[in-house]
């Protein structure tokens, strides 16, 4: 269901190259790295928003399955009516209207969920940008580059390809991720035991 995340976390080597070139021509300063995906994963507010969206998606999926079953039942009942009879024609017209309304509502519900998801990512990213800007200004950091700190599974070809294509090959004590996670507010790890996070 959640397609926005894949687009959101896609990296761009061209953007990195232009950013690095701009930095090299500037006044200098410190370059740091940030695992944006990890910040999102650890942020409790974002995690709660995603949980709410998943729960709504599950509820809508249940409603969708129930409505589909009702349509199948109605179609079966229509098939029992005599072909060409006024009753069948009327039932078929009602069925077509109901099916069209069902499909329209399903598309609208899916779009609403995608908009909610996009808004959750957007507001969290805006907050992240503000936090990073404050930290960077306080520490004379001129450039913060996105990187992925996740371990690469050598037996998974897709992970290996993605790992080989990472923009950041090496850094030494320049990772702002933990600092940003703390500055963003409550973390998933700090959630009460009665509210475990997946």
Give 24's pLDDT tier (boundaries 50, 70, 90).
very low
- Confidence at residue 115, expressed as pLDDT on a 0 to 100 scale: 98
Residue 71 covered by a domain: yes
Both structure tokens of 9: 């976390």
**Tens digit of each residue's pLDDT (9 = 90 or more) over 31-43:** 999 999 999 999 9
Q: What mean pLDDT is reported for the chain?
A: 86
Residue 197 covered by a domain: no
Structurally, the chain folds into a number of domains equal to 1
Show the domain range for 127.
Answer: 4-188
DSSP string, the chain: ---HHHHHT---HHHHHHHHHHHHHTT--EEEEE-HHHHHHHBHHHHHHHHHHHHHHHHHHHHHHHHHHHHHHHHHHHHTSPTT-HHHHHHHHHHHHHHHHHHHHHHHHHHHHHHHHHHHHHHHHHHHHHHHHHHHHHTTEEEEEE---SPP-TT-HHHHHHHHT-S----SS-B-HHHHHHHT--BGGGS-TTS---
Residue 34 covered by a domain: yes
Residue 105 covered by a domain: yes
Residue 9 covered by a domain: yes
CATH code for the domain in which residue 181 is found: 3.30.910.20
- Which pTM does this prediction carry? 0.75
């Amino acid at each position: 269901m959640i397609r926005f995340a894949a687009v959101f976390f896609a990296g761009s080597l061209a953007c990195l190259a232009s950013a690095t070139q701009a930095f090299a021509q500037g006044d200098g300063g410190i370059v740091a790295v940030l695992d944006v995906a990890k910040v999102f994963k650890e942020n409790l507010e974002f995690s709660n928003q995603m949980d709410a969206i998943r729960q709504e998606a599950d509820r809508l999926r249940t409603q969708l399955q129930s409505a589909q079953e009702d349509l199948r039942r109605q179609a079966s009942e229509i098939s029992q009516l005599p072909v060409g009879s006024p009753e069948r024609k009327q039932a078929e017209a009602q069925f077509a209207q109901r099916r069209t309304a069902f499909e329209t509502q399903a598309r609208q519900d899916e779009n609403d969920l995608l908009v909610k998801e996009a808004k959750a990512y957007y507001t969290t990213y805006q907050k992240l940008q503000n936090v990073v800007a404050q930290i960077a200004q306080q520490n004379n950091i001129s450039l913060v580059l996105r990187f992925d700190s996740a371990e690469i599974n050598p037996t998974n070809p897709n992970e290996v390809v993605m790992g080989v294509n990472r923009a950041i090959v090496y850094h030494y004590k320049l990772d702002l991720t933990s600092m940003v996670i703390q500055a963003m507010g409550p973390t998933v790890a700090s959630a009460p035991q009665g509210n475990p996070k997946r």
